[in-house]
Homo-oligomer: A and B are copies of this chain.
Amino acid sequence: MSSEIIETRSRILQATVRMLEEHGGRGVRMGDIAKAAGISRQAVYLHFASRAELLVAATRYLDEVLDLDRRLAPSRAATSGVERLTLYIDFWGHYIPKIYGVAKALLLAQDTDEAAAAAWNDRMLAMRDGCRAAIEALHSNGKLAPEWTPKRATDALWTMLLVPNWENLTGECGWSTRQYVRWMKTLAKRTFLDESE
């Protein structure tokens, strides 16, 4: 039955997400995932053509489970540029830890896997688009500090919000995600906001 196909498929995806979260995205093999899903390694290949494809599907699955659209809604509904900016940072900052395992695995797979690299890239470009929208909103409110063009401000905001920055601050430096988010908001406001008036 097709409902069983779907069931197995999502058991695999659940197992993938769980394993990657548990191991910080490192050293999780196809066989480990299969075992965690209670099926044979080969059965995984009946549903996903390659490890990269599985990882990509897992990120999509996570987006769905975590209801990405609902989380994005507040920043999209913001009435001012500043609000949009801070709400977007809020969203993304709290989203990173939830997807970190899968994201890290995808990031590491870039080394050997062209498809994984492309998928990660796509993902980051989507995030960039959120940054662009926030900066654009600020700009059309006339609140973007004059030294910035929208393009360069987008570059800068995007880079600030990259996963490795969160990873370093919360991992190596011991910051909480809450502290991370607070700093990113302050930094973004100080950097991009035109205070004159």
Contact = CB atoms under 8 A, between A and B. Distances in A.
A162 interface: yes
A45 interface: no
B162 A183 contact: no
Per DSSP, are chain A's interface residues mostly helix, strand or loop, or mixed?
A: helix
Given A158-B168, A164-B164, A173-B155, A187 B191 contact: yes
A9 to B, nearest CB: 26
Nearest to A165: B159
A66 interface: no
A139 to B, nearest CB: 17
A99 B110 CA distance: 20
B168 A162 contact: yes
A159 B187 contact: no
Contacts of A168: 158-159, 162
Contacts of A47: none
What is the size category of the interface that chain A forms with chain B?
A: 20 to 34
A162 B164 CA distance: 8
Interface in A128-161: 155-156, 158-160
Interface in A144-197: 155-156, 158-160, 162, 164-165, 168-169, 172-173, 175, 183, 187, 190-191
A47 to B, nearest CB: 24
Nearest to A125: B172
A73 B108 CA distance: 35
A67 interface: no
A189 to B, nearest CB: 12
12 contacts: A111-B111, A124-B172, A155-B173, A156-B183, A158-B168, A158-B173, A159-B169, A159-B173, A160-B165, A162-B164, A162-B168, A190-B190
Interface of A: 26-27, 108, 110-111, 124, 155-156, 158-160, 162, 164-165, 168-169, 172-173, 175, 183, 187, 190-191
